Structure 1
Amino acid sequence: MSPEEIQQIFFAECEESLAAAESGLAACHAGTHDSDTVNAVFRAVHSIKGGAGAFGFAALQAYTHTFETLLSDVREGLVAIEGELVELLLRALDTLADHVEAAREGGDAPSDGALIREMEASMAANAGGSVPAEPVTEPEPAPEPVAETSEGGGDDLDLDALLDDLTAGFEAPAPQAAEAAAPAADDKRWKVHLRPRAGAMRNGSEPLLMLRDIASLGGDCTFCDVSQVPPLDTFDVAQGYLGWTFAMPADVSEDSVRDIFDFIGDDCALAFGEDAEIPAFEVVETAPPPKPEPIAIKPAAEAAPKAAPAPAPAPAKAEAPAPVPAPAAAVSAPVEQAKPAAAEKPAEKAATTASGAPAATAGQSIRIDLFKLDRLIDLVGELVIAQAMLVQRLDNASVTASEELSLLETLTRDIQESAMSIRAQPIASVFSRVPRILRDLAASTGKHVKLDVFGETTELDKTVIERLGEPLTHLIRNAVDHGIESAENRIAAGKPPEGTLTLSAEHRSGRILITISDDGAGINREVVLRKAIEKGIVSPDAQLSAEEIDNLIFAPGFSTAQVVSNISGRGVGMDVVRQNVKDLGGRITIDSTPGKGTSFVLTLPLTLAISDGMIVDVGDQTLVVPLAHVVESLRPGEGDFHGLGSSAQMLNVRGRFIPIISLKTALGASTGAVNPQEGVLIVVDTESAGQAALLVDDICDQRQFVIKSLATNFRSVEGVAGATILGDGRVALIVDVDGLVACALPANERQAA
């Protein structure tokens, strides 16, 4: 694995750590936290710090060190978790996220000096006035390379000078000076002994930084063991030759010291107490041993006979002496450690199933590149198209293979559902960004907003989630800036001074509904209409319904803001929201009540790849109606439909009248049925207009279809959601049921429906 790939894994883990820390701090803000919550936040920040040091992100590491120190005080009870401190920790986490993003993109680190001083002040104010140790800044420069000597003169190199560099700042004091300087309080100090093993350097860790962390806790280095350092000509940079003893203050817990080494786990040997000693030096062979048989994954009954034969010879490449010992140690260390582990834990070999397979560990997961998942979805889509072509070919050839086709269809659907479930993620990953947005808006607008979230576990396709962030951010900023009133105006209106923003998500009929609601003043339709007339968006004599006025806020260039700010006022945002939602194959609707608030409802598909549809004929055209909208289909009799006005017709469905829409007329087809008795009516359900009946010539089939973007390959067409490839190779348009019904019916008919 290349360093770039390892670094990408680090940044992925940073995202997980940031999410875990934000979840924990949200619980602290709500007052529902406990010690485990604080520990989880500390571990998340500590993990980011360890990785930052390993990859040389000095600014990120220095900032995280201060953040971690404050969290350590909180965890040990030196600092109380209260309102102001939680707000400080939330702001610190926001800046940490900016640091991670800057490290990922290679940009300049955010300005954090004021925040670091604020965190240090919080530590000093709550710890009896003692200012904590300075945070780690730039890593100390590496020692100057030792000059090369004449051939064979490796023993003449100045080893003492090199050891002085390695142990700088950690030398043991002279015995007489130590005895003279030791106060009586030193009797209460306790000792920790440590020696990094070879594995501590293998993953890019820097043990010297961890020693500094111990010093920042008040630890004093009393002894550095250099007895195991060999001559330079046999020196192996991957070995753990040095060991240290630190005297720790009585108020520092053993867990605090252990937490420093969490990042490298057992790759650093620790011992505690006066009677303990620095752990012994363990030699790790630099030459790679023969490749062992993979007995660790065999059943216990089969592993024994295969352990006896001589091991297989090493690869030819490994037989030659390695010029650099570090890579060899990196390979050999896991092998050497695996042997005693297998010997010490024989019970693990017996943890197999009755069939002889190893027992699976609950909750196992692996990281997969998103490109590979996208490729898998594309291949599943091609499989669906190939299946449709096979069915079409067999039908044309009059070949009967119903059982085989049914099995193929079942397997294809199972593969498709499994692939989709891999990409499905809870929408909580989008909702989790909202608290930070609200905190930023509170700082810039002075409006404090309470957030209520429902349905955050609702799952949808990762692609939809990724493209949902921008429109959701626009809607939230718009709700706080325009919708929710100031505290004074809310109190005057009989409302609590703090506004409420509600986010909810739910599945409904194969779609997902996301609602963003506020309890503000609602849309001022008089102001909206006046602004639209001033900007020439509508004519002065236009007669618009309340719904049509509300939708004017989506017009390009429209804004009711009095002052241009970094939040709003430039007339961009809401039109981008609607376009982004349309690009996702969805719709956005508004429900506003003056004085009570506004709700934006986003109706989105669960996935952008594969769906189920009803294939219909309209004249010489073949169309696809998404099955998620279909309620029923029927052939009406003479008394089932009635005229309304000069051209409109209504269908009587069990005593309820719904409008009839001819797809021939709505889509501008050259031929097709216009009389309900000449075709088939498909009753569909929409979000904005209720139910309607679509008139088509005939229903051909019902099957899965692969959604292809029409806007990407051609351009957006009103009433069309995309295209797909049929089994005979033809391209069929996918009907945008919501958009088509909304355009085909006047506003008064939609309200009546």
Structure 2
Amino acid sequence: MSPEEIQGIFFAECDESLQAAEAGLAACQAGTHDGETINAIFRAVHSIKGGAGAFGFEALQAFTHTFETLLSDVRDGSVPITAKLVDLLLRALDTLSDHVVAARDGGEAPADTALLAELTAAQARNAGAAAPAEAPAAKQAAPVPAPEPVAADDPFDLDSLLDSLGEELAAPAEVEAEAEWKIHVRPHAEAMGNGSEPVLLLRELARLGGRCVAVDCSHVPALDLLDAAQGYLGWTFALPAAVSEAEAQEVFDFIGDDCALAFGAGQPIPEPRIAVVAPPVVAEAAPVVSETAAPRAPAAESPAAAPAPPAAGQSIRIDLAKLDKLIDSVGELVIAQAMLAQRLTNENVTGIDEMGLLETLTRDIQECAMSIRAQPIGSVFSRVPRILRELATTTGKHTRLEVSGESTELDKTVIEKLGEPLTHLIRNAVDHGIESAEERLAAGKPAEGTVSLSAEHRSGRIHIRIADDGKGIDQARVLAKAIEKGIVSPDAQLSREEIDHLIFAPGFSTAQAVSNISGRGVGMDVVRQAVKDLGGRITIESEQGKGTAFILTLPLTLAISEGMIINIGDQALVVPLANVVESLRPDASEVKGLGHGQSMLNVRGKFIPVVPLHDFFGAGDAPDGAREGVLIVVETEAAGKAALLVDGISDQRQFVIKSLETHYRSMEGVAGATILGDGRVALILDVDSLVAGAAACARAPLRDAA
């Protein structure tokens, strides 16, 4: 594994740690925290600090060291948790996130001097003291010194090297007389192979107050057999009783099982894992050199072997590019399986059991591959608290966040593209929706506004709801602004839903002045386009004085889905199965005319509109009325149910979604394209757009007649 790959793993773990710390601080803010919550926050920051030191990110390491010191005081109860402290910790977490981004992208580290001073002043030892101008130098992580150059004619002296290393890690001459306990450390070969630097970990033990009392170099081979990638050395440290075993173990969290640990004076230094593990042999205890304290107990009084390392974790990290290639290959497998099935059908070859087995296996592989890419939407929701904190500073509007359904899973590609539209919607909710504290109090509302986020699976899609309890959409003002900007004509007759959706028009804005939050008329247009690119739709629910909700309905994946293949004239189209309720051939009594060529279908006592797809796609040889074709009852989010009139249904199978916009251009009523088993390209219908468009056309003649 290359250093770049190892560093990539570190930054991925940084993201996870930041999310964990954010969740913990949110619990502190809500008053639902406990001791484990504080421990989780501490571990998250400590983990970032350890990796930062290993990779030489000095600014990141220095900031996390001061942050961690305050968290340690909070954890042991010497600093009480207050609203002011939680606010400070949240600001520190935001800055820590900026530090991580700067380290990852090679950018300039954020200015943190003032914040470091606040963190230092809040520590237990400085309680009540004025914040110093900058963080104490002693609390900054010392940069790793560069090695001294060795002249070509200088002899290599291993004993001198070990002695100097023991001196560097040993305690100062004057050591307080206090109770101590011991930890034995043995980095394995895998530690060096993964790019770790054990000396940095040992220095971290020294910073905890530990002192090196023994170095085991008995496994160091002759110079001509020395392999720099192997782990030959082991160390014993004496730590103050005030340092817990958990604190010492956290130093090695980042390196995992690549470093063996043993605790207690009676334990031997763990044996090394060098090259191939030899069969177990009964041997004398390895001698210990460089003793600076009492020797270890004899081997006869010690356990025969160190405890076995814990089993490897049950998860692995893989490069996203490899996963994308797997998904693409599964898509091609689905197409190949469909083509093979079509060819056998054309040649009247039936009764092959292996074909059914192949189809089942293909489906299983596809579902497994897609489940690997599935991630909880909580990773997107976790960005919102910081956005709200920044908006509170900018607008003066304080907002409480309510979240539900954050464990709902969907495809990673969808998650990655949700960040920008979600940010726009949150900023819009606070800037345009939530009133000022004075206005809210005058309206009988709490001074603090509420923004709620929720996600759930419904009918094979994911529904994300972003709602606020603000003033709602002022439709009269929206319509007047749209007329002023020439978006609609002054004599246009629009429904309430159509007026609400005017806010998505390019260039539309009701802001009084341009600011860094709104006023340029690009935010909501970006939202609609982003949702459309994801194959989804966005609807609005608003009530004046009560608030507004935006509902995003998105596919769970952008790769493979299930669909019904229908025929219209000589064309084959695909209807996503998530929209399909049922299909039927109606009796004459079930279809009623409604004038202007419109028909309605009676489905168990409820009438729904019939949408003839021939008219929409301009196909010839249309069925003679709804009674001659096949009706597919579909359900949409905005327009309810409708019946699509088609010639017939030819198949139902999985299909691989291809972007039409990438290869051609965007088309109204079309969500994408796919390749059928016979090699033809078929369009995938955007059912919601089709039904909504048909409903608008049906209303237009009625308005004209009126």
TM-score higher than 0.5 = yes
2:139 maps to what in 1?
135
Q: Would the aligned equivalents of 1:192 and 1:270 in 2 still touch at CA under 8 Å?
A: no
> Structure 1-normalised TM-score?
0.81
Alpha-carbon distance, 1:190 to partner: 3.2
1:89 maps to what in 2?
89
CA distance in structure 1 between the aligned counterparts of 2:647 and 2:271, rounded to whole angstroms: 82
Alpha-carbon distance, 1:477 to partner: 0.9
CA distance in structure 2 between the aligned counterparts of 1:46 and 1:245, rounded to whole angstroms: 21
Aligned partner letter, 1:136: Q
Matched, 1:679 2:629: yes
How far does the alpha carbon of each residue in 1:627-684 deviate from its partner, in whole angstroms, 9 at most, with x for none? 1111122222332222223222212222221111110112233442362123111111
Q: After TM superposition, list the pairs within 5 Å mapping 1:229-628 onto structure 2.
A: 239-240=232-233, 248=240, 255-263=246-254, 267=259, 364-401=314-351, 403-628=353-578
Are the structure 2 counterparts of residues 560 and 125 from structure 1 closer, same or farther at C-alpha, using a change threshold of 3 Å? farther
Query: Secondary structure of 2:123's match?
Result: helix
CA distance in structure 2 between the aligned counterparts of 1:397 and 1:575, rounded to whole angstroms: 51
Alpha-carbon distance, 1:136 to partner: 2.3
How far does the alpha carbon of each residue in 1:1-51 deviate from its partner, in whole angstroms, 9 at most, with x for none? 111111111112212222222222222222222111111111111111111
CA distance in structure 1 between the aligned counterparts of 2:534 and 2:303, rounded to whole angstroms: 52
Q: Would the aligned equivalents of 1:195 and 1:240 in 2 still touch at CA under 8 Å?
A: no
CA distance in structure 2 between the aligned counterparts of 1:148 and 1:377, rounded to whole angstroms: 54
How far does the alpha carbon of each residue in 1:37-66 deviate from its partner, in whole angstroms, 9 at most, with x for none? 111111111111111111111111111111
1:190 maps to what in 2?
179
Aligned partner letter, 2:44: A
Query: Secondary structure of 2:553's match?
Result: strand
Alpha-carbon distance, 1:362 to partner: 11
Q: Would the aligned equivalents of 2:587 and 2:627 in 1 still touch at CA under 8 Å?
A: yes
Query: Secondary structure of 2:453's match?
Result: strand
Are the structure 2 counterparts of residues 674 and 598 from structure 1 closer, same or farther at C-alpha, using a change threshold of 3 Å? farther
Q: Would the aligned equivalents of 1:587 and 1:602 in 2 still touch at CA under 8 Å?
A: yes
CA distance in structure 1 between the aligned counterparts of 2:106 and 2:68, rounded to whole angstroms: 23
Are the structure 2 counterparts of residues 646 and 8 from structure 1 closer, same or farther at C-alpha, using a change threshold of 3 Å? same
Are the structure 2 counterparts of residues 516 and 634 from structure 1 closer, same or farther at C-alpha, using a change threshold of 3 Å? same
Number of paired residues?
Answer: 670
Are the structure 2 counterparts of residues 18 and 578 from structure 1 closer, same or farther at C-alpha, using a change threshold of 3 Å? same
Query: Secondary structure of 1:141's match?
Result: coil
CA distance in structure 1 between the aligned counterparts of 2:521 and 2:352, rounded to whole angstroms: 58
2:285 maps to what in 1?
none
Query: Secondary structure of 1:134's match?
Result: helix
How far does the alpha carbon of each residue in 1:418-451 deviate from its partner, in whole angstroms, 9 at most, with x for none? 2222222222222222212211211211111111
Alpha-carbon distance, 1:538 to partner: 1.4
Q: After TM superposition, list the pairs within 5 Å mapping 1:112-151 onto structure 2.
A: 112-124=112-124, 127=127, 134-137=138-141, 139-149=143-153
Aligned partner letter, 1:110: P
Query: Secondary structure of 2:410's match?
Result: strand
2:289 maps to what in 1?
none
Aligned partner letter, 2:539: T
CA distance in structure 1 between the aligned counterparts of 2:424 and 2:70, rounded to whole angstroms: 34
Matched, 1:17 2:32: no
Are the structure 2 counterparts of residues 598 and 271 from structure 1 closer, same or farther at C-alpha, using a change threshold of 3 Å? closer
Are the structure 2 counterparts of residues 284 and 347 from structure 1 closer, same or farther at C-alpha, using a change threshold of 3 Å? closer
1:42 maps to what in 2?
42
How far does the alpha carbon of each residue in 1:180-205 deviate from its partner, in whole angstroms, 9 at most, with x for none? xx9xxx55x33455665454973555
How far does the alpha carbon of each residue in 1:271-314 deviate from its partner, in whole angstroms, 9 at most, with x for none? 77xxx69x9888969xx655769xxxxxxxxxxxxx99xxxxxx
Alpha-carbon distance, 1:563 to partner: 2.0
Alpha-carbon distance, 1:212 to partner: 5.7
CA distance in structure 2 between the aligned counterparts of 1:720 and 1:619, rounded to whole angstroms: 17
Structure 1: unaligned runs, 5 residues or longer: 294-306, 309-339, 349-360
Alpha-carbon distance, 1:686 to partner: 0.8
Are the structure 2 counterparts of residues 18 and 290 from structure 1 closer, same or farther at C-alpha, using a change threshold of 3 Å? closer
Alpha-carbon distance, 1:496 to partner: 0.9
Aligned partner letter, 1:30: A
Query: Secondary structure of 1:562's match?
Result: coil
Aligned partner letter, 1:190: A
Aligned partner letter, 2:90: L
Alpha-carbon distance, 1:167 to partner: 3.9
Are the structure 2 counterparts of residues 5 and 639 from structure 1 closer, same or farther at C-alpha, using a change threshold of 3 Å? same
Q: Would the aligned equivalents of 1:619 and 1:673 in 2 still touch at CA under 8 Å?
A: no
Query: Secondary structure of 1:677's match?
Result: coil
Are the structure 2 counterparts of residues 225 and 535 from structure 1 closer, same or farther at C-alpha, using a change threshold of 3 Å? same
Query: Secondary structure of 1:29's match?
Result: helix
Query: Secondary structure of 1:678's match?
Result: coil
Aligned partner letter, 2:37: T
Aligned partner letter, 1:144: E
2:57 maps to what in 1?
57
Query: Secondary structure of 2:516's match?
Result: coil
Alpha-carbon distance, 1:127 to partner: 4.7
Query: Secondary structure of 2:535's match?
Result: coil
Percent identity reads 65
Are the structure 2 counterparts of residues 626 and 270 from structure 1 closer, same or farther at C-alpha, using a change threshold of 3 Å? closer
